[in-house]
Structure 1
Amino acid sequence: MLLVLSDEHKEHLGFLSEVDTVVVGEFGRIAVEFLKKGSNAKIYEGAARKLNVPTHSVQYGVEGLMYLLTESSKLMISEVDFQDSVLALGFSEERNKLLLQLYLENRKEIRNILSELGPALPCYHNLEWRLDVQLASRTLRQQVKPTLSLKLHLESGGIRSARVLQTDPATLLHLVQELERALAEVKSNHCRRILRNIK
């Protein structure tokens, strides 16, 4: 899978072709460091002074490199696909190899950082259910009132919790039908075309 870069992103990364390869390697190290700890305006200013360029050029270059590495790591693109994606930037062969080396050395670490940044959603662990039926009462002799009780066990960060839900069979049946309809929609050609364009 190739990484599609916007014109603005290509323009920001174009700054890397104007600097030495040692500087590109340093920008890569800074980009990974910023992913861990957040950006620091003083580093941009110091690098801009050393290179005698505007601060925003350095900032855009580092942030462009950060975006390239995070998107590539997120999609886990192969070495060949990464090289093909970077070819669109028009860098020299040496810079392309340096960017590939940066990507290969840091992709696991970047994926770990991205997984920590995501929301910690609880995961399914187990489900218990019970069907309660009130067959009759003095006031309602002919009516049957079934109730479905669900105990959903969730796990989040090694801690288990339980949620109790209650519903009637008609609502549960409607929910199942809606979920089946949503799953069928994902398999449709129209949805596949949209998902292919998003990637």
Structure 2
Amino acid sequence: MSSPRLSQEERDHLVLLQRPASEVVELCKSAFDYLVNGPNLDRYDLLAKKYTGDVNSEAVKKAVEALISLLIHVTTHTQTNGGPANIRQIFPDLSDEVLEVLEQFVSSKRNFVEGSIKSANIRAYRLINLDWRLEVRTASRCLLNQSNVVITMKLYLHTEPKSENRELLEIDTSDRSERELGAMHEDQRRHRKDLLVQTDVSSLVHLIKSLEDALVESKTRRIKNIVDAIH
């Protein structure tokens, strides 16, 4: 059996595996919880306090992320090579008890990761255009002094990528038969989805902040490693 390759940085983060098997179990549980619910900094801080030596919550977090990378690497390696990966070749210095924990971890969570990889390969809707308007109600019969600001947005979504230089809402109908036009409209209905969204200013600010945070996180090495492992 061959083994998947881990980067030296990932191996360095996984030095925390050189611990009793019971503590490695907690790390594996934290890794799966990360996949389902996202990072839990409070939990990493509690684990770090249990460890002897110079171990902080950031080191625990990086070890959890490296375990996720290991799980993805092993899963994709198994899919590609048609057989299980050899965990013992990756970590020859770990005890048999810890290796058994790791083997059970990657085997029990493999179906979950495979399902996530398949879902990631499904073409999701992409935003291709956006219309918006600002609506303000300045007064009413009930309240003379009133200012309600509402933002209304229409999102044009499509499962196929579109050229930025193409008119997204218009179709060139010249020199096309009715059958061709019918097929084009059917394709649009099948792949396109329009959403009307209305929100207030505070919610819009929160939405923009969440999207900006997600954009920053998408550029981190951790996310790039996970994406590379999936694809």
Q: Same fold (TM over 0.5)?
A: yes
Q: Deviations over 1:56-79 (max 9, x none)?
A: 221121111111112322444579
Q: Residue in 1 aligned with 2:190?
A: 161
Q: Which runs of 5+ in 1 are unaligned?
A: 124-144, 164-198
- The structure showing larger relative contact order (alpha-carbon pairs under 8 Å, at least 6 residues apart) is 2
For the 8 Å contact 1:15–1:61, the answer to whether it is kept is: yes
Q: Deviations over 1:80-118 (max 9, x none)?
A: 6422x5523332333222211111111112223444456
For the 8 Å contact 1:44–1:58, the answer to whether it is kept is: yes
For the 8 Å contact 2:3–2:90, the answer to whether it is kept is: no
Determine which structure has the larger helix proportion and give its number: 1
Letter paired with 1:105? S
- 3-state SS of the aligned residue for 2:109? helix
Normalising to structure 1: TM-score of the pair?
A: 0.56
- For the residues of structure 2 that align with 1:120 and 1:162, how far apart are their CA atoms? 10
Matches within 5 A, 1:131-142: none
For the 8 Å contact 2:77–2:85, the answer to whether it is kept is: no
- For the residues of structure 1 that align with 2:120 and 2:46, how far apart are their CA atoms? 28
Change (3 A) 1:80 1:23: farther
Letter paired with 2:44? Y
* 1:69 equivalent among 68, 71, 82: 71
- For the residues of structure 2 that align with 1:60 and 1:86, how far apart are their CA atoms? 21
- For the residues of structure 2 that align with 1:96 and 1:22, how far apart are their CA atoms? 12
Q: CA deviation at 1:120?
A: 2.2
**Number of residue pairs the alignment of both structures matches:** 137
Change (3 A) 1:68 1:154: farther
Q: Residue in 2 aligned with 1:120?
A: 124
> CA RMSD, aligned part only?
3.2
- For the residues of structure 1 that align with 2:103 and 2:116, how far apart are their CA atoms? 19
Q: Residue in 2 aligned with 1:23?
A: 23
- For the residues of structure 1 that align with 2:41 and 2:191, how far apart are their CA atoms? 45
Displaced runs of 4 or more, over 6 A: none
Letter paired with 2:69? Y
- For the residues of structure 2 that align with 1:162 and 1:80, how far apart are their CA atoms? 37
Q: Residue in 1 aligned with 2:203?
A: none
- 3-state SS of the aligned residue for 2:39? coil
- For the residues of structure 2 that align with 1:27 and 1:161, how far apart are their CA atoms? 44
For the 8 Å contact 2:13–2:59, the answer to whether it is kept is: yes
Letter paired with 2:27? F
- 3-state SS of the aligned residue for 1:161? helix
Q: Residue in 1 aligned with 2:98?
A: 95
* 1:110 equivalent among 104, 113, 125: 113
Structure index of larger Rg:
1
Normalising to structure 2: TM-score of the pair?
A: 0.49
Q: CA deviation at 1:47?
A: 0.5
Q: Which runs of 5+ in 2 are unaligned?
A: 126-158, 161-173, 193-230
